[in-house]
Amino acid sequence: MRLILVDWMIDVCEEYRLITATLFTSVSMVDRMLASNVEINSKTLQLVGCTCMMIASKFHDLHPAAADDFVYVSDHAFDRWALLEMEQRVLETLDYNLMRPTPYTFLDVYSKAGGYARGDEGYYLTRLVLETALLHPEHNRFLPSLLTTAAVSLAHTLINPDPEEDEKQQWAQTEILKMSGYTCEDLVEPLEALRGWIQDIASHTHRPFCFP
C-alpha cells in the first residue's frame, strides 16, 4: 500500500513540476505519520500523501501546488476541506518539526565530492537510485547521509564497471568518504540494500529504471 502511494507521489511531483526536495520531504513526513499513533487506512492514505506533498511544496517550491491541485489529481477522492483538516492534523502529529534531513539534503555536496556536478550522468543516476530507495520503507533504517554516500558510490560502479577505471573510482571513493566521514565498512549494508531494491524494481517493472 505504501509502495503504491510513494510511486504515485513521484508521478504527481513530476506532473506538477515540484522540485525533488519536495518529494523527499513529503515521503519523510508520510513515513513519520505511518509510524505515529494516528490511524491511517487505505481510504485515508492518499489524503495523507497529498497533504504531506502540499506542506512540503510550501517550503520548497517557488510556486507551490495548491489544495485544489491535489483534489483534482486524486480524482476528487476528498475535498479541499478534508485536505486542510488533515494538514492541521499532520502539523500537530509531527509537532511542527517538518524539515528533517533527507538523502536529497546531501546529494549535491556528496555528488560533487565524487566528481559529479549537477546535471552530470552520475548525478542523475545517484538521484534515481535514491528515488528508488524511497519506494522501500526499509531505507529509513539508514541515516540519510549514509544512504546518499552509498548511492554516489554505487553510481560510480554502475557507470564505470571497466577495471581500467578502478583508479578513478578509488579516488572518487576516497573523496566521498572524506566528505561524509564514513568508512568502506559503513557502506557494505546500504550498498547491498540499494542493489537489492534496484533489482526488485527492475524485475517488477512497475517503474522503469532509466535516466530522466
Which pLDDT value is given to residue 17?
A: 94
CA distances from 11 to 113, 145, 158 (A): 30, 25, 25
Closest CA to 6 of 20, 21, 26: 26
Which pLDDT value is given to residue 116?
A: 82
Distance between CA atoms of 100 and 123, rounded to whole angstroms?
22
Q: What angle do CA 25, 198, 205 make, to 5 degrees?
A: 100
Mean pLDDT by 10 residues, the chain (212 residues): 92 94 97 91 92 96 94 93 95 93 94 84 91 93 96 87 62 80 92 90 50 30
* The three cell numbers locating residue 165: 577505471
Residue for grid cell 495523507: 48
Which pLDDT value is given to residue 89?
A: 95
Give me the count of residues in the chain: 212
Domain 2-93 coded CATH 1.10.472.10: yes
Distance between CA atoms of 110 and 114, rounded to whole angstroms?
6
Distance between CA atoms of 24 and 52, rounded to whole angstroms?
10
* Cβ 182 vs Cβ 146: under 8 Å: yes
Range(s) for CATH 1.10.472.10 in the chain?
A: 2-93
Distance between CA atoms of 115 and 156, rounded to whole angstroms?
9
For 59, residues 6+ apart whose C-beta sits below 8 A from its C-beta are 22, 25, 98, 99
Which pLDDT value is given to residue 210?
A: 32
* Cβ 137 vs Cβ 31: under 8 Å: yes
CATH of domain 103-204: 1.10.472
* Cβ 156 vs Cβ 122: under 8 Å: yes
Helices of type H across 35-106? 45-60, 67-73, 80-93
